[in-house]
Chains A and B, each alone.
Chain A
């Protein structure tokens, strides 16, 4: 079964620090996408970054980057120079099979950036 595990329910860092959120997953697919979504308090969930499994190069989007280890089925998110606006729930997710129009989500990590 396709599962996603986020082992850190909550994290808290000071503004401008770097923080890494962990995610492991399980799938029998060979090619797939992985996503990190962000859900700010009382606001809609938005895509932060995505990784294509067949690409060895880690995805980056400005201050957000991933460390993708396909063999270990690990997909961590690194936030550099964290900002107050990064405070949110972060969810790791992936489609259970290629072409699926649904996502399997982890339980989420509540990240708080302190001033």
Chain B
């Protein structure tokens, strides 16, 4: 079974631009979540989607948004980029609670998209 796939792996943008990152979950996984990883703040939860609906959102400004498609693939978008948005953006997928006998909360991560804002 293929793992979580994130594209692009690396990208460089300038301040004020916007960026879209893509994530394809493990086949059969219907929940997709996004995390921002920086040296200073560590891993911070951005949002989580299930069945095309955002169920949880972290403490990030409205410039950060996302969506999920009917095939469970997800995208996140950051508009009006700032230098502080430079980070590794990790996508993770998991089984939905409705399918798991006991939802362990285990996440399966992609390799991440490393965004550099100049």
Interface of A toward B, CB cutoff 8 Å: 32-33, 35, 37, 43-47, 50, 91, 93-95, 98-108
Contact = CB atoms under 8 A, between A and B. Distances in A.
B109 A102 contact: no
B106 A94 contact: no
27 contacts: A37-B109, A44-B3, A44-B4, A44-B110, A46-B109, A47-B106, A50-B106, A91-B43, A93-B43, A95-B105, A98-B103, A99-B105, A101-B31, A101-B33, A101-B50, A101-B56, A101-B94, A101-B96, A101-B97, A101-B105, A102-B45, A102-B58, A103-B45, A105-B43, A107-B42, A108-B42, A108-B43
Given A45-B90, A106-B42, A108-B42, A100 B111 contact: no
Contacts of A100: 56, 105
Interface of B: 3-4, 31, 33, 35, 42-43, 45, 48, 50, 55-56, 58, 90, 94, 96-97, 103-112
B109 A44 contact: yes
Contacts of A32: 105
Contacts of A108: 42-43
A23 to B, nearest CB: 13
Contacts of A50: 104, 106
